[in-house]
Structure 1
Amino acid sequence: MILPGATLGILGGGQLGQMFVLAARRMGYPVWVLDPDPDCPAAAVADQHLCAAYDDPAALQALADHCAAVTAEFENVPASAMHYLEKRIPVRPGAEALAIAQDRAREKSFFQELGLETAPFAVLRQMEDVTTAVQHTTEPLPFPAILKTTRFGYDGKGQREVATASELAAAWKSLNTPEAILESRIQLQQEFSIILARAVDGLMVFYPAAENIHHQGVLDLSIVPARVPEALQTQARHSAARIATALDYVGVLAVEFFVSAKGQLLVNEMAPRPHNSGHYSIDACVSSQFDQQVRALCGLPLADTRLISPVVMMNLLGDLWEAGEPDWQQLLQHPQIKLHLYGKKAARPGRKMGHVNALSPEAERALSVLETLRQDWHWPR
């Protein structure tokens, strides 16, 4: 076990890195952050900010020299950096899990190899693939579909809607990517996520499922307890556990699921880290997903994930700042709302600037509070 007083490291200093640092420091661990952005949110709370590229040799060696273990804030850190650190100190989760998660084609294939259902998809690696992509194994790939870059796509970025096969060639050219996947658009009944933590000894704990509502490709609300049939939640937990076991995973893992209009459970994607839909756990659970990230990294026993109160998390996007600073007094008049601002200096449309957790005896009442707030702010849906 790595005990308090030892220094931990993290690659990535965004809001997830910031929340990891706060959890670690509360538990008595100094933290070093590697991030090329001098104004990254984690820099304000870290013990040491290495302002350098993620693959900078000197910065990586500094982490290896001063940290007892290292984790990553997000999956798109260079694989070479993680392999370099893995040879010197514990890195959790390992580079292999990150490599699978940062490539959509590899990730979808990995799910299917485990016997998990996904939306029908085809991989496009060259222009010639576009003409044959509508043939998915022995059956045509159903349209409408979504064309997605295999790398660096998040919050709706790197995607194109493709209504018919005739639109595919133009969509492929507009993405300007060496590889993409074409995925059938599923008629959705619900979306939800399962977040688990897995320890070095293989023990797993699960957080309550979060029902997720997106707007323009970005997560808007997470509702807990999820209004998803318990049988589907149980099936999803088994699927997430299968993924974590196959990867010999150590850390916090989020897996997103679709429920089709016919009630079929489909795996969408995984995030080898804490997840936006798990931010509710900071205020509404005995231990947050960031507490678990610290514990798993340090080889400590995992903590209680019990839900203390129903909760709805709402993201605060940069759109709210278009007319100036939001009216925080109006928000803070609601006693059941917990405000989390990330300290980002530039507010841009679609950029996650913070979130609020609304706690209430019933999730529907929490939803009502947030809808009132949205109306007061004249925030369009």
Structure 2
Amino acid sequence: MSPLPAGSTIGILGGGQLGRMLAGAAARLGFDVVILVPGESPPAARVAARHIDADYEDEDALKMFAEACDVITYEFENIPVASIAHLTTLGADVRPGIKSLEVSQDRLSEKQFLNVIGIETGRFEPVDSVEQLKTALEAIGGDGLLKTRRDGYDGKGQVRVRSVDDLAAAYSQIGDAPAILEALVPFEREISVVIARGVDGQMAAYDPSRNEHESGILKRSTAPCGLPDDVISRAMDLAGTLARETGHIGVLALELFVLEDGTLLANEMAPRVHNSGHWTPEACATGQFEQHIRAVAGWPLGPVTRHFDVEMENLLGEEALAPPQSFAEGTILTLYGKRDAKPARKMGHAVRRTGRA
């Protein structure tokens, strides 16, 4: 496909803050945006040219969506794979495509895939019953993190398991769902690499960020990450391998644990723009949202030069309701337009310059 000219229409499956920021980036490049997401007034729909209010599995709506768009992308990884397949049968060009989605929707399949393509992870075991959980706990050394294979995010769908006395309660807490037990990794820090891959295979990786979590939710990301150049280079290479092996078009993120000796172990991937890359629009020549739009539209990728050291902090719940003057001078705010400031809900983020690059 030739690069899309300005004035073309890009479709986005999903209507949250990532879709909202993607829609803004697309509009700045001259594209119209159509959002398909169920709900009367989701954040992304309020900044798009058109909103199709329908379920992701509504075939009539998918047909309407395909006919309205020149290319289609998605803002989160829980879009049904069958919906992407159906759009493809209708002749739609969907980017990143099915492979990245399939790999990332199931934690067990994801870790198995990462290992197959040469990206190491911590030890893990599949769990489908309390009895299997007991065997898995023994196999990883008696302490681990039990996670649902599907749908968990921001600390949801997971529970710490420390002894055989916890098994039944832990499995019940995740809804007796198919799960994975992960060994605890003694990491020194967590980083993520946000990388883009174009239709021509060109790739561009942002400087890795150091990530800090609170209660399972990313609270802040800082760049640079403070690691030696050789570790950074290996992290970028791993992200490049993932993008290449999935045939990904667009932006993806690879979260990595860094051990004391510099060993890198993958935590998880996200086949989309990522929370840990929210600092890039302010600090880099091309931000992750514009980069994703460039990639799916078939444009050349933009430069990812970082102009200054930076910290991004997520604003959770009522933190986003603070008056603008309460933030430090020079803080750049992005608010997501969500109606209800629920506790621990991501409502916006703040970006601060911390030094010269």
Say whether 1:178 aligns with 2:180: no
The code of the aligned residue for 1:281 comes to: T
Q: Is contact 1:145–1:161 with CA below 8 Å preserved after alignment?
A: yes
Q: Secondary structure at the match of 1:213?
A: strand
Which residue of 62, 65, 68 corresponds with 2:67? 65
Q: Is contact 1:155–1:217 with CA below 8 Å preserved after alignment?
A: yes
The structure-2 alpha-carbon separation of the partners of 1:225 and 1:46, relative to structure 1 and needing over 3 Å to count, comes to same
What residue number does 1:345 align with?
339
Q: Is contact 1:143–1:185 with CA below 8 Å preserved after alignment?
A: no
Q: Secondary structure at the match of 1:105?
A: helix
Partners of 1:67 and 1:335 lie apart in 2 by 41
Say whether 1:94 aligns with 2:90: no
Q: Secondary structure at the match of 1:306?
A: coil
Partners of 1:319 and 1:147 lie apart in 2 by 30
Fraction of identical pairs, as percent: 42
What is the CA distance between 1:362 and its match in structure 2? 4.8
Say whether 1:134 aligns with 2:130: no
The structure-2 alpha-carbon separation of the partners of 1:195 and 1:17, relative to structure 1 and needing over 3 Å to count, comes to same
Say whether 1:355 aligns with 2:354: no
Give a deviation string over 1:117-144, Cα, whole Å, max 9, x none.
1111100123442232235xxxx31232
Q: Is contact 2:191–2:208 with CA below 8 Å preserved after alignment?
A: yes
What is the CA distance between 1:336 and its match in structure 2? 1.7
Q: Secondary structure at the match of 1:155?
A: coil
Say whether 1:283 aligns with 2:282: yes
Could you state the TM-score of these two structures normalised by the residue count of structure 1? 0.90
Q: Is contact 2:133–2:181 with CA below 8 Å preserved after alignment?
A: no
Q: CA RMSD in A?
A: 1.4
What is the CA distance between 1:89 and its match in structure 2? 1.4
What is the CA distance between 1:170 and its match in structure 2? 2.4
Question: How many residues of Structure 1 are paired with residues of Structure 2 in the alignment?
Answer: 354
Which residue of 48, 57, 66 corresponds with 1:46? 48
Partners of 1:180 and 1:293 lie apart in 2 by 31
Give a deviation string over 1:325-367, Cα, whole Å, max 9, x none.
4232211xx332101111100011110000000013259xxxx
Give a deviation string over 1:274-324, Cα, whole Å, max 9, x none.
000000001110011011111111111110111011110000000436xxx
The code of the aligned residue for 1:341 comes to: L
Give a deviation string over 1:56-91, Cα, whole Å, max 9, x none.
112211111010000000000111111111221111
The structure-2 alpha-carbon separation of the partners of 1:162 and 1:362, relative to structure 1 and needing over 3 Å to count, comes to farther
Could you state the TM-score of these two structures normalised by the residue count of structure 2? 0.96
What is the CA distance between 1:262 and its match in structure 2? 4.4
Q: Secondary structure at the match of 1:221?
A: strand
Alignment of 1:24-35 (within 5 A): 24-35=26-37
What residue number does 1:223 align with?
222
Q: Secondary structure at the match of 1:232?
A: helix
Partners of 2:133 and 2:303 lie apart in 1 by 49
Q: Is contact 2:210–2:224 with CA below 8 Å preserved after alignment?
A: yes
Say whether 1:309 aligns with 2:308: yes
What residue number does 1:115 align with?
118
Partners of 1:319 and 1:79 lie apart in 2 by 35
Alignment of 1:3-22 (within 5 A): 3-22=5-24
Partners of 2:164 and 2:241 lie apart in 1 by 35
What is the CA distance between 1:264 and its match in structure 2? 2.1
Partners of 2:260 and 2:183 lie apart in 1 by 14
Q: Any stretches of 5+ residues in structure 1 without a counterpart? A: 364-381
What residue number does 1:260 align with?
259
What residue number does 1:368 align with?
none
Partners of 1:319 and 1:128 lie apart in 2 by 42
Partners of 2:102 and 2:176 lie apart in 1 by 18
Partners of 1:183 and 1:319 lie apart in 2 by 33
Partners of 2:323 and 2:347 lie apart in 1 by 14
What residue number does 2:330 align with?
336
Partners of 2:20 and 2:37 lie apart in 1 by 11
Partners of 1:175 and 1:257 lie apart in 2 by 24
Give a deviation string over 1:8-36, Cα, whole Å, max 9, x none.
10000100000000000010000000111
Q: Secondary structure at the match of 1:107?
A: helix
Partners of 1:76 and 1:316 lie apart in 2 by 23
Q: Is contact 2:137–2:144 with CA below 8 Å preserved after alignment?
A: no
Q: Secondary structure at the match of 1:295?
A: helix
The code of the aligned residue for 1:328 comes to: P
Q: Is contact 1:336–1:360 with CA below 8 Å preserved after alignment?
A: no
Partners of 1:107 and 1:2 lie apart in 2 by 32
Q: Secondary structure at the match of 2:227?
A: coil
Which residue of 108, 120, 123 corresponds with 1:105? 108
